[in-house]
Amino acid sequence: MSDNANPTVHSTLPASDLASRVAGPPEVLQRLDRGEEVDPAHYYFRIAPMFETADARLAWLNDLLAVGIGHRFVDGPVYNIFEVL
């Protein structure tokens, strides 16, 4: 279930719409680059996504200022995104 206060969104975010910062020890970043599973506690992964939609039901996303935390897993990244009020 979702509503404007707690939307559930499943989407593919193009790289051009996602500013990100990944930092950590060189050996950890190398493991991430190789696609290995790395404990998220060992690196810093933050994002600042931008949303654009023509769907009137989701128009509120167009003005949303958001930040997020990312974790990279073997099968792809997962983001927890939060609205900045």
Domain assignment of residue 74, yes or no = yes
In this structure, is residue 27 part of a structural domain? Answer: yes
Q: H-type helices in the chain, by residue range?
A: 26-33
The whole-angstrom separation of Cα 9 and Cα 11 is 6
- Say if residue 1's pLDDT is above 50: no
Q: Are 24 and 42 in contact (CB under 8 A)?
A: yes
Q: What is the CATH number of the domain that holds 27?
A: 2.40.160.20
pLDDT score for 40? 94
The pLDDT of residue 20 is 85
Task: Return the closest-CA partner of residue 22 out of 51, 49, 47.
Answer: 47
Residue 79 lies in a domain: yes
Expressed as residue numbers, the domain containing 26 is 20-83
CA distance 59 to 74: 33
Q: In this structure, what DSSP letter does residue 6 have?
A: S
**pLDDT tens-digit readout, 32-64:** 999 999 999 999 999 998 888 888 988 998 999
- Give me the mean pLDDT over the 65-76 stretch: 91
pTM: 0.70
Domain count for the chain? 1
